Amino acid sequence: MKKLGSGAIEGAYVACGRADAFISPQIASWDIAATALILKEAGGKITDFEGNDWTPKQSNVILSNGKIHNNIIELVGKALKS
């Protein structure tokens, strides 16, 4: 998917099923805090790159539909080790 320029809209796309995931190595909490709640309520998942529950203090984030989340964490981990 093309980068839309807004973490909030990209996260909303994941929540409503228009996208399967959104990954960002550096994002401000205010850019996705509301989306995090919407995503969780929609059944999605949000964590940091290590798979820990996301908190506003973290800057890296993975948002997904939940079904592919563990696969994304694994792929991101491999990419970071390369």
Domain borders along the chain are 7-81
The answer to whether residue 2 scores a pLDDT higher than 60 is no
Res. 6 pLDDT band, cuts 50 70 90: confident
Q: Model-level pTM?
A: 0.89
pLDDT in tens, 50-67: 999 999 998 999 999 999
Q: Which fold has domain 7-81?
A: D-Maltodextrin-Binding Protein; domain 2 (3.40.190)
Dihedral over Cα of 49, 52, 56, 62: its sign: positive
**Side chain identity at 74, as an amino acid letter?**
E
Across the chain, what does the average pLDDT equal? 91
* SS3 at position 47: strand
Rounded average pLDDT over 62-80: 95
| More confident site: 40 or 1 | 40
